Amino acid sequence: MTERQRLLVIAAGGTGGHMFPAQALAEVMLRKGWRVKLSTDARGARYTGGFPHTVEIEQVASASFVRGGVLAKLVAPLRIFGGTLAAAWRMWRDRPDVVVGFGGYPAIPAMAAARVLRLPRMIHEQNGVLGRVNRVFSRRVDRVACGTWPADLPEGVAGVHTGNPVRAAVQERAGAPYIPPGDYPMSILVIGGSQGARVLSDIVPPAIAALPMDVLRNIRVSHQARDEDGARVAQFYAENGVDADVQPFFRDVPRRMSEAQLVISRAGASSVADISVIGRPSILIPYPHATGDHQSANARGLTEAGGAIVIPESRATVEIMAEQIASILTQPDGAVKMAHAALSVGKPEATEELVALVEELAG
Ligand SMILES: CC(=O)N[C@H]1[C@@H](OP(=O)(O)OP(=O)(O)OC[C@H]2O[C@@H](n3ccc(=O)[nH]c3=O)[C@H](O)[C@@H]2O)O[C@H](CO)[C@@H](O)[C@@H]1O
C-alpha cells in the first residue's frame, strides 16, 4: 500500500508581512514531499506570486473588522462564520496533518475549523507583540512559535522562539563579510517594508545630503519610495549630487543589503530578520501605529544587542538622522561591532525550526 502524502494547511493573509514567512515554510515542506494548501482571502492572494505554483490556494471569504464601514463590520462575523464552515468541510474531507496560522484576519476560518476538528495546529507570530488574531488562538493551539524574542505572550502561554523565516536569497547571505565604511564607494539601503514609508522619504534624503563632503562623495543610495514619492525623492538626490537608485520595491534587497555599509529601515518583522541574518548596522524608525506598537518591540532585540540605533518617529528629524548616519559611517570599528551584534541575534535557521515543529505535531 502506498503511503498517503502528508498535507499541511497554511492560513495567512493581510499584509506581505504575514505572507513572506508562510511562503518560506511552504517551500521547504514541498521539498520534503508534503502537499501544501494556502488558505487566504483576496487581499492575501495578491502576495501569492512568489509561492511555488504547486501550493494549492484556497481563497476564503474572510473579512477585516478594521477596514470598511458599519455595514462591513456587521457582516464580517457572518462572512467569517461562513468561511469557517467551508474550511471545516474541506478539512473534514482532506484531513490535514497539521494546520499553521501566520496571523491576519484571513487566517481565522482555517484556524477555527482546525480547532473544531481537533487537528494538530500551531500559530507563528512574527512580531514581538501578538497580533489580534494570533492572540485569540494562542490558547487554542498546540504550539505558539515566535519570530521575535522576547515575545509579549498572554499569561500561561508558552512560546517557542523559532525566529522569522527569511527568503532563500537572504539565507544564502547569512553572515556575508561586512566591508566597514571607509574612503571608498559605500552603499546605504533605505527600505520601508512591503509598502514603503513616507517618513523615510521625507527625512533621509536631506540627512544624507547634509553629510560631510568627504563622506558624501563616496555614497551610493538604494532608496525604496512609495510610487507617489518616488519622483521627488529621485529629484532631490539628483539636485544634491547624490548617486541614488529610487524604486517602489527592490526585488534584490538581499544583494543590496549584503553590499550595504548601513541600512535605514522601518522595523517590520521580516525587515529586522533580514538585517540580523545578513548582519548589517542599521537605523530603525518603528512604524508608530502598528498594533500594540509591535515594531518597537521588533527592534528591541537588535538594539539591545548593540546592532541598531532606534529613532522613534516622534523624534525623527533631519538633524538627528544626519547625526546618526554620520556617526556610523565615520567610525568603522563601531560599524563592525554593530554588524557583529546584529548577527548575534539573527536566526538563519528559523525555517528549519518551524519545519521541525510541524513534523513533531504531525507525529
Ligand atoms: C505597516 C505595517 O503594519 N507593517 C507590518 C507588516 O510589515 P511589512 O508588510 O512591511 O513587512 P516586513 O517589514 O515584515 O517585511 C518586508 C519584507 O520586504 C522586503 N523588501 C522591502 C522593501 C523592498 O524594496 N524590497 C523588499 O524585498 C524586506 O527585506 C522584508 O523582507 O507585517 C509585519 C509582520 O507581521 C509587521 O512587523 C509590520 O509591522
Residues 14 and 91 in one domain: yes
**In a 10 Å sphere around its CB, with 0-12 CB exposed, 13-18 middle and 19+ buried, how is residue 50 labelled?**
middle
Q: Whose CA is closest to atom 35 on ligand 1?
A: 17
Annotated binding-site ranges for UDP-N-acetyl-alpha-D-glucosamine: 15-17, 127, 167, 194, 295
Q: What is the pLDDT of residue 362?
A: 97
The ligand 1 atom nearest the CA atom of 194 = 10
Q: Whose CA is closest to atom 29 on ligand 1?
A: 271
| ipTM over cut 0.95 | yes
- 150 in a domain, yes or no? yes
Average pLDDT over the chain, rounded to whole?
A: 93
Ligand 1: residues whose CB is within 6 Å? 15-18, 20, 126-127, 191, 193-195, 224, 249-250, 253, 268-271, 274, 287, 290, 294-295, 298
- 208 in a domain, yes or no? yes
Residues 138 and 257 in one domain: no
Of 128, 88, 79, 82, residue with least CA distance to 111: 88
- Of 320 and 194, which is predicted with more confidence? 320
pTM, two decimals, is 0.93
Residues 159 and 280 in one domain: no
Q: Whose CA is closest to atom 8 on ligand 1?
A: 17
Q: What is the pLDDT of residue 65?
A: 53
User: Phi, psi at residue 334, to the nearest 5°?
Assistant: -65, -40
Place of cell 563616496: 218
Residues 132 and 247 in one domain: no
CATH number of the domain that residue 55 is part of: 3.40.50.2000
Q: What is the pLDDT of residue 1?
A: 53
Residues 230 and 286 in one domain: yes
Averaged pLDDT, 17-25: 89
Q: How far apart are CA 159 and CA 102, in angstroms?
A: 14
Residues 66 and 154 in one domain: yes
- 258 in a domain, yes or no? yes
Do 342 and 275 form a contact (C-beta atoms < 8 A)?
A: yes
Residues 16 and 135 in one domain: yes
* Range(s) of the domain holding residue 287: 186-345
Residues 16 and 160 in one domain: yes
Of 153, 61, 163, residue with least CA distance to 108: 61
Residues 162 and 232 in one domain: no
The ligand 1 atom nearest the CA atom of 249 = 24
* pLDDT tens per residue, range 282-295: 999 999 999 999 99
- 236 in a domain, yes or no? yes
User: Phi, psi at residue 106, to the nearest 5°?
Assistant: -65, -15
How many domains, the chain?
A: 2
Of 186, 173, 201, 192, residue with least CA distance to 335: 186
Residues 149 and 214 in one domain: no
The strand pairing partners of 131, in sequence order, are none
Q: Whose CA is closest to atom 36 on ligand 1?
A: 268
